[in-house]
Every structure is written in structure tokens, then in C-alpha cells.
Amino acid sequence: MGSLIPFLDLNLLPDPTTTINTATICPKIEPKLEPYDEPPPLQPPQQTFFPDPNPSFFSNSQSTPFPDPDPNSPSQPPELSSEENNVYSEFYRISELFRSAFAKRMQRYGDVDVLDPDSRAIVPVSEENRVSTVVVARRRSQRSAELVRVTDLGIEDQRYFRDVVRRTRMVYDSLRIFSMMEDDKRRGMGISRRTRGDLRAASVMRDRGLWLNRDKRIVGSIPGVYIGDLFFFRMELCVIGLHGQAQAGIDYLPASQSSNGEPIATSIIVSGGYEDDEDAGDVIIYTGHGGQDKFNRQCFHQKLEGGNLALERSMHYGIELRVIRGIKYEGSVSGKVYVYDGLYKILDSWFDVGKSGFGVYKYKLLRIEGQPDMGSSILKFAANLRARPLTARPMGYICLDISMKKENVPVFLFNDIDSDHDPMYYDYLTRTVFPPFAFHQGGNGTGCDCVSGCTDDCLCAMKNGGEFAYDQNGILLRGKPVIFECGTFCRCPPSCRNRVSQKGVRNRLEVFRSRETGWGVRSLDLIQAGAFICEYAGVVLTRDQAAVFTMNGDTLVYPNRFTDRWAEWGDLSQIYSDYVRPTYPSIPPLDFAMDVSRMRNVACYISHSSSPNVLVQFVLYDHNNLLFPHLMLFAMENIPPLRELSLDYGVADEWTGKLPICN
């Protein structure tokens, strides 16, 4: 069971500038009995911002706008330009600001009866607490001022939160895509501009209280969000609670809501919008916000307020910060991808003159050690790997295409653990082999006549219940019991949007040796949520044939054992109370097995997980026999390059190898 550590009071946090003992942290004060004349035990930080020239705060570079006083003529203040004068007066203003914040803190101090040192202890999360952390019932509720840190999540908790996050993101994506498709439909009827699906989806979800992590402000990592997770829209970060600011790069608990009157930063986005940022991965020189005009030019001095002050305070207290990077990415819907890169600490901050000659606040951030590799560096590494696999990883590649050019893209085989080459010794099968009689049953020959491309009311749309299963980009909109793609019996061109899975693998996949799972599969490309990955291919056996094979100890896969994860995809029951999961086109229980003992494809090496990132969707295209659908695999979330793919094979939690395969 995980824990929420309340940041009950920032006053309880170690102050790096004072000696810490319980007495100073938690003085017992009875304000009504004793006049409050003694100086409060907490001192203002030695490291004040200004105007004291503190070397750690003011850059020691020569570019500081504050020329050192000339030692030879100490009585002569240096000549200041009007610009420098402005900076000075700004500093005095901020100085006042901090002084008043500090005074407020001292005032509050008098109100505190007894600060219980035990209140810093780990508080177990009750079921009630856990739900309230994630699911916010109140509509349009404001963000909470309660600062907490979530620690010690057990496996069960992690899985729970992961599922909540994935479900939320799935709803977000569904709403976004449906919203855009609605606009496209209306576009023919005079509406020219599309409303922004990313904003619409967020707004609908906010109205229904589906935004996560609003009733607590989480410092540190967000439950259910892993390092390396990818997002295509800024609003999605808000919906998850990873970063609560629609536009600003610094998210923070404002001073007005903080327990000690000082603001605390919780997350930042490094998206390259500031010319003075220097991003070296583990170390970032981050520029505060402000000072820019509409065209992103620095044109006046930044102020030490809002997020900038919060970063400084976070540094002072040594509080960690979530870092999200916004990276240009071809092939993303928005041309950009946001990567969660983990937690950083702020080591230093100073005022500097930026490239355009205006004052900027700078913060030196260092990534906390012991975290998984950064998502952004994995993205870079994967790009190298795609371009020159043997240069990027000289050791470990056994085969550069186990499909022997049968797939559209090569399927790599990688093993840097032992000498096992097993996957090379199977014939590669790109598609499932059905028995000939499967093609002669089940209403063959029904296809559409859409020579110039399928329309929303064509026969094949009707076969799917009046709608196509994919959007224009080939993204699965909603899981169904079975999908009829256009196929052999249709007159539509190969470019028809209802032909997605039959076109085969588009991502460069890699079978790799893993200590945990034996063999596993990962992609060198980012796989967008809802995208087709590959077929689960094998040689189909009827029940009788399978019985014989089982006796021979051969390896069989039973398609009916896969969990109905398709039903989760596009499930909008949280939005519409009358939502029902699709039951059409219906499909009878599957009564066949697949032999993968001699011929198989890459899917066979995908590992099991009860919290998977890949789902099975049944699809028909080369025959209409409902008894023998193809098993097509689609991404259930944005899968970062090099992250292992996993399927819910539908057997109990414990790890027993490739689960649906029985010997």
C-alpha cells in the first residue's frame, strides 16, 4: 500500500541555511499566553535574492548587470544606465515582495499551536483516500492547495494507477478524435474551421470531473505515469495532472495557497521556447518565464515572481521537480511530442543577462540519480538506431531481418545476454494461414463497389455497424467484436481507409532477449495509441487437429483466451451514461487453435502483462467467415521506442511464459 507524505507545513522541511533540530523545526508556541516577542526560530534564508551580491545567486560571469563596485573608489557608486536602474528598482520591489511574504509566514507561525513532528511520518493510503487522490468528483473544482508526495507504491497500486491513467488518456484520445471527425462532417455544410479537438476533449472531461490529481498537488512523480511516457498534446498533461498549466512552462503552488506563504514549483516543461535555455540532458540551465513579447523575443527583464520565485523557493528547500521535455517529432499529429523525463533538483539560480540583453532568471537543474533512462535520450538513441543500427549498437544484433524481407520493414533480432539464436530457426509467417474451407463459408463475395474510395454510407461501413473502425490516419477508433475491412471482394482502391491491418507492419520491430521475459518485442519507432502493430500469425488448426498436435507436444495458441481488451478501446461510458460497448458485428466464440511451432511471426515473442500496452482486435478482410478472424494487434497507449510490448494473454497473473501457448 502506498503512502502520501503530507507536506504539512513547509516550515517542517529542513532549511538548508539553518541547523536543524526538532526544537527549531517544531517549537511549541502558545500564542495566547505568551507575548510573541522572541524572534521566530526560522530565519529568513541567508541566501537572499537581492540586493546583496551573493555569489551563488548572482552569476559570477561578467555579464551581470551589476558591476562590481570599484575597490579603489568605494564611495563612488558606479554609473548606472537607465536600464540597469530599472533592474535595481525591480530588485527592490521584489525584495519588498519577499519581505511581506516572510512577514506573513511569521504571522502564521503565531497561529500554529503545536507542530507534531510525527506528522511527517508516512501515512498509509486508505481505499477512500486513494480514490479521492485520483478521481475528483467535484465539477470544475479548483486545484487543491494540499501538497503531497506519493511514495512506496506497491505493485498493485502501480498497476491500479497505471490503469486509471491509461483509461483516462484513452477517453481523452477518443474524445479528441471524435470531436475532429464531427467537425469534418460539418465542414461540408459551411463550417470551415475545425475546433481544436485537444481543447474540446479536455474541456468535456473537466466538466465531468475526469481530470486526475486535482484534489492533491503532487510533488515528485505522478502515480501511473512512467518516465519516458509520451504525450502529443499539452492539454493532456493537464488532464493527467503531470503539469497543470495550459500555457506556462512552470507549474507551482502559489504563495497565497502555500502553508508558509512561499510558492513551490512542482513541474516544468522544457520546450525550447527560451533562447537562453541550455539543455544537456542530465543538467539543464532553465530560464524563468516572462520577459517575452508576442513573437517569443526577450524584450524586457524577467521578474522574480510567480513561477520564477517558486523555482527559487523549491531550490531553497531542496524540493524535486518534474521535468517534461517538448521535442519536435515528425510523424506526431501536432509535430511535437512531450516526454516525461523524471525528477530533477535545482542546484543553483542566478540572475543573468540573456542573449538579447535583457535580464533573465536562470536555474541549474540536475537530474536525480537512480531513475530509469530519460525518455528524450531514448528517443534520440532510437533515431540513431533506425539510421545505423550496427553503429549505434555494435554488439548484440544477430539478424537484421528475421522476416527475410517478407514484412514491409525489417524485424531485428537482438541478444546481448546469451548465445540463444532461437527465433532465427522458424519460418517467418506474415499472415495467418487459414484452412481452405474457411474461404468457402460465410457469405463470400460481399464487398463494396466504391471505385473512387469508400464513403461513410458504403456497404462496408454498414457491415461495421454504419461506421468505419479507423480514422483517416489508420488509428483504431473503437474496439469491436470484429472489424470488416475492405478486401478481396471490394472494388475500392488500396488507399481506402478501411484497409489498415491488411497492409502489414509499419514500425521497425525488434525481437530481443530479456532476463525477465525470455524473449520480448519492442519497436524502434514511436507507436501512436490506436495504431496497428502487427498480426498474431500462425497456422490455424481445427479442434480435432489441435487435439493431435497437443498430444505431440507442439506449441499452440488459443485465440479465445485473449482478454477482451478491445472493449476498453474507445469506451466512453465515463462520458455518456448510456454508453454500451459495441456488440455488432457479433462473432461466435472462437473454436480454433493456431500452431506456431514451425512458422510464426514477431507477435509470438510479445510478453504477457495484466496491464498491457497492446490489444487484440479480430479483423476480417480476405474472407467473410466469422469463425476464422485474423488476430490483429493495436497499441493501447503511445508506446515509446524501445519499450517492451505486452499483451494480456488472459491467464492468471503469475508469470508462466507465453501464456496462451499450451504444450
Partner DNA sequence: GCTAACTCATAATA
Partner DNA sequence: CTATTATGAGTTAG
Q: Which residues bind DNA (CB under 7 A)?
A: 142-143, 193-199, 202-203, 206, 214, 232-235, 238, 244-249, 252-257, 263, 269, 271, 273-274, 289-292, 306, 326, 333-334, 336
Nearer to DNA, 93 or 503 (CB): 93
Asked if 276 contacts 296 with a C-beta cutoff of 8 angstroms, the reply is no
Whole-number Cα distances in Å, 100 to 255, 310, 445? 11, 15, 80
Nearer to DNA, 290 or 481 (CB): 290
Min separation Cβ 334 and DNA, Å: 4
Distance between CA atoms of residues 95 and 89, nearest Å: 10
Min separation Cβ 151 and DNA, Å: 23
Give me the amino acid identity at 609.
S
C-alpha 560: how far from chain center:
31
C-alpha 47: how far from chain center:
36
Min separation Cβ 599 and DNA, Å: 42
Nearer to DNA, 248 or 590 (CB): 248
> Which of 551, 540, 597 lies closest to 422 in space, CA to CA?
597
| DSSP per residue, 398-426 | EES-TTTT-SSS-EEEE-SSSS--GGGGS
Nearer to DNA, 252 or 414 (CB): 252
Q: How many residues does the chain have?
A: 663
Min separation Cβ 350 and DNA, Å: 19
The secondary structure of the chain in percent helix, strand, coil, rounded to multiples of 5, reads 25, 20, 55
Nearer to DNA, 248 or 285 (CB): 248
The three grid cell numbers given for residue 193, joined into one nine-digit string: 474551421
Whole-number Cα distances in Å, 190 to 183, 184, 455? 11, 11, 19
> Which of 49, 145, 43, 33 lies closest to 91 in space, CA to CA?
49
Nearer to DNA, 294 or 515 (CB): 294
Min separation Cβ 249 and DNA, Å: 4
Give me the amino acid identity at 478.
R
Min separation Cβ 207 and DNA, Å: 9
Distance between CA atoms of residues 514 and 516, nearest Å: 5
Nearer to DNA, 310 or 659 (CB): 310
Enter the DSSP assignment of 135: B
Min separation Cβ 497 and DNA, Å: 16
| DSSP per residue, 488-545 | TT--S-TT-TT--GGG---S-EEEEEETTTEEEEEESS-B-TT-EEEE---EEE-HHH
The three grid cell numbers given for residue 267, joined into one nine-digit string: 513541474
Nearer to DNA, 250 or 382 (CB): 250
Nearer to DNA, 17 or 195 (CB): 195
Min separation Cβ 231 and DNA, Å: 8
Nearer to DNA, 215 or 554 (CB): 215
Min separation Cβ 321 and DNA, Å: 15
Helix, strand or coil for residue 633? Answer: strand
Nearer to DNA, 326 or 538 (CB): 326
Min separation Cβ 290 and DNA, Å: 3
Nearer to DNA, 309 or 635 (CB): 309
The three grid cell numbers given for residue 89, joined into one nine-digit string: 528598482
The three grid cell numbers given for residue 659, joined into one nine-digit string: 501464456
> Which of 93, 95, 125, 87 lies closest to 2 in space, CA to CA?
125
Using a 10 angstrom Cβ sphere, with 0-12 exposed, 13-18 middle and 19 or more buried, the burial of residue 249 is buried
Distant-in-sequence contacts of 104-108, Cβ < 8 A, 24+ apart: 104/261, 105/11, 105/42, 105/260, 105/261, 105/262, 106/40, 108/259, 108/260, 108/261
Min separation Cβ 307 and DNA, Å: 7
Helix, strand or coil for residue 18? Answer: coil
Min separation Cβ 38 and DNA, Å: 27
Nearer to DNA, 144 or 597 (CB): 144
Residue 51: is the preceding peptide bond cis (ω within 30°)? yes
Min separation Cβ 61 and DNA, Å: 23
Whole-number Cα distances in Å, 480 to 45, 222, 489? 61, 32, 21
